[in-house]
């Protein structure tokens, strides 16, 4: 089984990638998309999105990171891909799934799913522009307003030279509303010969097992589910190993709330080091808010920090939790 960590703009950035890959269980990450318009981006932009480029294209835990680009002009996309390739990412991924209106209005992201021919042109341009050894993959949704062109889009990605296709099993119109239509992925798998990765609404081990059964994919991409439960990848691997009579000696028995408190402290340290002050407390609250789905303790934690805006106050709260984890259950 292959487990990938999804790119999610404004959520799964390099800071959270760093922390989640320390917890472990995923094989590869993909960066937030880097938007390409009509200029050649300076190196500092690529380093801002992927500081892992300074570490051989890997997180500090050693997990490879593939850089994702979003654009609709083959020339500038190819030029930027070539520039980025020289900095040493694990590979380059192309975004054909972003549902944001501002992106779609300019012909990028999911809007391209209405034009398979343009997709083939874009992928081919990037494939030609980067060294042959560097993987070029693509991420798509099932379509824009409907899934009528899903097979053609996947075939266009393969024709352009994509070595792997991630399918977020919803249309742009569906947004992030459940369910994800995993049952539409087998037809895409049958239409192409490159590996297909299933993505969308994988929150639990049971979701992962059902997604594999329905989609037929042995590779899954985890997004919000991994943020909500940072031990999800290990839990999926443990269940997979148990089903096959195997055990992963590297896998923890479980990732519980006390195990996560040091990682929350690391996350806060990185947020304070790398992000602007106005973003910091909100990022911690954002993560705690998602973890409320999985951990009752996260609900208590979220209520305790939701009114905090001062960095020092948040730091004091985190130090108290790490020194005395049971304080979280009784409040402060």
Alpha carbon separation from 220 to 1, 210, 224 (Å, rounded): 8, 11, 13
Residues with Cβ within 8 Å of 126's Cβ and at least 6 positions away in sequence, in order, are: 69, 77, 78, 81, 92, 94, 136, 160, 161
Give Cβ neighbours of residue 273 (< 8 Å, ≥ 6 apart).
none
Nearest to 139 by CA among 213, 195, 80: 195
204 φ, ψ to 5°?
Answer: -135, 170
Q: Please confirm whether the linkage preceding 276 is cis (ω < 30° from 0).
A: no
- In this structure, are strands 2-5 and 165-171 parallel, antiparallel, or unpaired? unpaired
Between the CA of residue 47 and those of 33, 42, 199, 205, 266, what are the distances in Å?
Answer: 13, 9, 27, 34, 21
> Rounded to whole angstroms, how far apart are CA atoms 69 and 229?
27
User: Which residues are 138's β-sheet partners?
Assistant: 94, 165
- Alpha-carbon gap, residue 56 to 316, rounded angstroms: 35
Q: Which sequence positions are flagged as catalytic?
A: 98
By residue count, the chain amounts to: 332
Distances from the Cα of 298 to the Cα of 149, 225, 264, 285, 303, angstroms: 41, 15, 11, 10, 8
């Amino acid at each position: 089984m292959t487990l990938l960590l999804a790119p999610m703009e404004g959520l799964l950035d390099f800071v959270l990638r760093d922390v989640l890959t320390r917890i472990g269980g995923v094989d590869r990450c993909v960066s937030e998309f880097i938007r390409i318009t009509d200029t050649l981006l300076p190196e500092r932009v690529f380093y801002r999105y992927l500081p892992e480029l300074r570490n051989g294209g890997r997180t500090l835990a050693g997990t490879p990171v593939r850089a994702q680009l979003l654009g609709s002009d083959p020339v500038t996309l190819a030029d930027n891909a070539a520039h980025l390739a020289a900095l040493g990412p694990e590979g380059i991924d192309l975004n054909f799934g972003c549902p944001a209106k501002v992106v779609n209005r300019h012909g990028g992201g999911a809007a391209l799913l209405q034009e398979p021919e343009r997709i083939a042109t874009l992928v081919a341009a990037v494939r030609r522009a980067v060294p042959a050894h560097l993987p070029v993959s693509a991420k798509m949704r099932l379509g824009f307003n409907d899934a009528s062109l899903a097979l053609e889009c996947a075939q266009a990605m393969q024709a352009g030279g994509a070595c792997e296709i991630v399918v977020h099993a919803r249309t742009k119109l569906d947004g992030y509303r459940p369910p994800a239509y995993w049952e539409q992925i087998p037809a895409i798998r049958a239409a192409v010969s490159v590996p297909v990765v299933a993505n969308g609404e994988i929150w639990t081990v049971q979701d992962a097992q059902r997604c594999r059964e329905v989609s037929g994919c042995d590779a899954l991409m985890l997004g919000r589910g991994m943020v909500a439960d940072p031990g999800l990848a290990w839990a999926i691997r443990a269940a997979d190993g148990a089903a096959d009579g195997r055990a992963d000696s590297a896998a923890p028995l479980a990732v519980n709330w006390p195990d996560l408190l040091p990682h929350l402290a690391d996350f806060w340290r990185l947020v304070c080091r790398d992000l602007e002050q106005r973003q910091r407390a909100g990022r911690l609250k954002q993560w705690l808010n998602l973890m409320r789905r999985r951990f009752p303790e996260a609900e208590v934690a979220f209520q305790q920090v939701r009114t905090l805006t001062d960095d020092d106050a948040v730091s004091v709260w985190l130090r108290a939790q790490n020194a005395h984890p049971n304080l979280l259950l009784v409040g402060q």
